[in-house]
C-alpha cells in the first residue's frame, strides 16, 4: 500500500474527557511496529461498553481516548513479525487477544489471555502504547482498538482474519456484542436442549443471548425487560415469553418461579445492574440452576444470600461469551455467511462517523439496538 511505513493523517472521533461529546479531529496514525497491524476501519458499531467508559466508569485517567471496539476493516500494512495477516485482508480487531501461548490461552477452561487488560482496572497500571496522536497528545485506544477512527493499529494477537466475502458493515457486530451474548448462553451457561431460560435485558447482547438459547434448543426462553417495545424484536431471535417487571407487584424472581415450577434452568444477565444480577440468580431453580453475569459494571458490589448458592445454584461470569477470539470469530463469520446466525436484524440505524454523537444519544436513550457507523469506504 502507498502509505506503508508512513504516518497516516485521518479522521477520528476523540473523547477528550468524560461526559463530554466526542470531537471529530484529524489525527496521526503511526506505522505498525513489530507484531502490529494497521487497519483501515470500514465499519464500527456503537456498543454500550463505549458509553460506559465515556459516561459512567469515572476513570479520568482513561482519556483522551478513541472509543469504538466493535469494528471491521481491511489491513493497510503490517509490522515486522506478522505472518498470518497480509495487506488487503478483511479483519475484525478483537477486544480480547489470543496469544495462544499463555496459561489462559492453553487452557480449555478460559478464553482470557495474559495480554488482556481490563479497562476498569486502571489503578497503578500504565495505559498500553498507542500509535494514535492528536495535537501532540497520545490518544488511548479503548480496549486496544480505537474503532472510531478511519485507521488504527492493533496487535496481531488481537486481530481475526475473516472470509473475504463477509460484509464488514454486518460482521463488525461479531467484534463484541453478538459473540458476548450468544456465547454466554452456549459456552458459559451451556444451555441444554429442552431447558427453560430467562434473559434479563434486551439490548444487542441480550438478544444475542436469546439467539444462543434458541440455538442450544431451549424449550422456553423468557425475555425480561422494562421496555415492552422490545418483545417483538426478541421474538425474532427466539423468545417464547416476555415479562415486564413493572407489570408486577412482586419480585421478578418470584414471577419467574411461578411461571416455571420453581425457577428457570438458566438465566443470563445482560444489564450491568447489580440488583438485576441478584434477581437473575434468584430466578434460577435450586439444585442445578445456572446464572451468568454478562453486564459490565465495577461501581457497585454484588450480594446474595449464601443459601441461594448452598441450595445448588451456580453463579458465573462471562467475557466475550467464552469464545477464544482469534479461533472463534472467523467461525462465527462463516456461520453468518451460511445463514446460521442472525446479524442484520440487530442493526436499527446506519450513520457516518460525523454522526457519532447522535448515535451515542440513540443508545443512551434506548432508541436503538445497534447503530453501525460507516467509517470509510471499502
Question: How confident is the model at residue 45, as a pLDDT?
Answer: 97
Look up the pTM and report it: 0.94
The active-site residue, picked from 10, 47, 197, 213, is 47
Query: In the beta sheet, which residues pair with residue 371?
Result: 349
Helix (H) or strand (E) holding 134: strand 132-134
CA–CA dist 336, 151 (Å, integer) = 26
- Residue 284 is among the residues annotated as catalytic for this protein: no
The active-site residue, picked from 10, 48, 49, 213, is 49
Is residue 142 a contact partner of residue 118, using CB atoms and an 8 Å limit? no
Kindly state the cell numbers that stand for 292: 451468568
Mean pLDDT for the chain overall: 93
Is residue 184 a contact partner of residue 212, using CB atoms and an 8 Å limit? yes
Kindly state the cell numbers that stand for 317: 461470569
Segment 309-336 shows an average pLDDT of 97
> Pairing state of beta strands 36-45 and 370-374?
antiparallel
CA–CA dist 111, 345 (Å, integer) = 27
- Residue 69 is among the residues annotated as catalytic for this protein: yes
- Residue 48 is among the residues annotated as catalytic for this protein: no
pLDDT tens readout for residues 57-114: 777 788 999 999 999 999 999 999 999 999 999 999 999 999 999 999 999 999 999 9
Is residue 152 a contact partner of residue 93, using CB atoms and an 8 Å limit? yes
Amino acid at each position: 500500500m502507498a502509505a506503508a511505513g508512513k504516518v497516516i493523517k485521518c479522521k477520528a472521533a476523540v473523547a477528550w474527557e468524560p461526559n463530554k461529546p466526542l470531537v471529530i479531529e484529524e489525527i496521526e496514525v503511526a506505522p505498525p511496529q513489530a507484531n502490529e497491524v494497521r487497519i483501515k476501519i470500514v465499519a464500527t458499531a456503537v456498543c454500550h461498553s463505549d458509553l460506559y467508559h465515556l459516561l459512567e466508569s469515572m476513570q479520568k485517567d482513561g482519556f483522551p481516548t478513541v472509543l469504538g471496539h466493535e469494528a471491521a476493516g481491511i489491513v493497510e500494512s503490517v509490522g515486522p513479525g506478522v505472518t498470518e495477516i497480509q495487506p488487503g485482508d478483511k479483519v475484525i480487531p478483537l477486544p480480547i487477544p489470543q496469544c495462544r501461548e499463555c496459561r489462559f490461552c492453553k487452557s480449555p477452561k478460559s478464553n482470557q489471555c495474559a495480554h488482556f487488560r481490563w479497562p476498569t482496572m486502571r489503578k497503578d497500571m500504565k495505559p498500553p502504547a498507542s500509535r494514535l496522536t492528536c495535537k501532540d497528545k497520545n490518544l488511548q485506544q479503548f480496549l486496544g482498538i480505537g474503532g472510531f477512527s478511519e485507521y488504527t493499529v492493533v496487535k496481531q494477537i488481537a486481530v481475526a482474519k475473516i472470509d473475504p466475502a463477509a460484509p464488514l458493515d454486518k460482521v463488525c457486530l461479531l467484534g463484541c456484542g453478538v459473540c458476548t451474548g450468544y456465547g454466554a448462553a452456549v459456552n458459559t451457561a451451556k444451555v441444554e436442549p429442552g431447558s427453560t431460560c430467562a434473559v434479563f435485558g434486551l439490548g444487542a447482547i441480550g438478544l444475542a443471548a436469546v439467539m444462543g438459547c434458541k440455538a442450544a434448543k431451549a424449550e422456553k426462553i423468557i425475555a425480561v425487560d422494562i421496555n415492552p417495545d422490545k418483545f417483538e424484536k426478541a421474538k425474532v431471535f427466539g423468545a417464547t415469553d416476555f415479562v415486564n417487571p413493572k407489570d408486577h407487584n412482586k419480585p421478578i424472581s418470584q414471577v419467574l418461579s411461578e411461571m416455571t415450577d420453581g425457577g428457570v434452568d438458566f438465566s443470563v444477565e445482560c444489564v450491568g445492574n447489580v440488583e438485576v444480577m441478584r434477581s437473575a440468580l434468584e430466578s434460577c431453580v435450586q439444585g442445578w440452576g445456572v446464572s451468568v453475569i454478562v453486564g459490565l459494571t465495577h461501581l457497585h458490589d454484588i450480594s446474595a444470600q449464601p443459601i441461594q448458592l448452598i441450595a445448588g445454584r451456580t453463579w458465573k461470569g462471562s467475557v466475550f461469551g467464552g469464545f477464544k477470539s482469534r479461533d472463534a470469530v472467523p467461525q462465527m463469520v462463516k456461520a453468518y455467511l451460511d445463514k446460521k446466525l442472525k446479524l442484520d436484524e440487530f442493526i436499527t440505524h446506519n450513520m457516518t462517523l460525523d454522526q457519532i454523537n447522535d448515535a451515542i444519544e440513540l443508545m443512551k436513550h434506548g432508541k436503538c439496538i445497534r447503530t453501525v457507523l460507516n467509517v470509510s469506504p471499502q
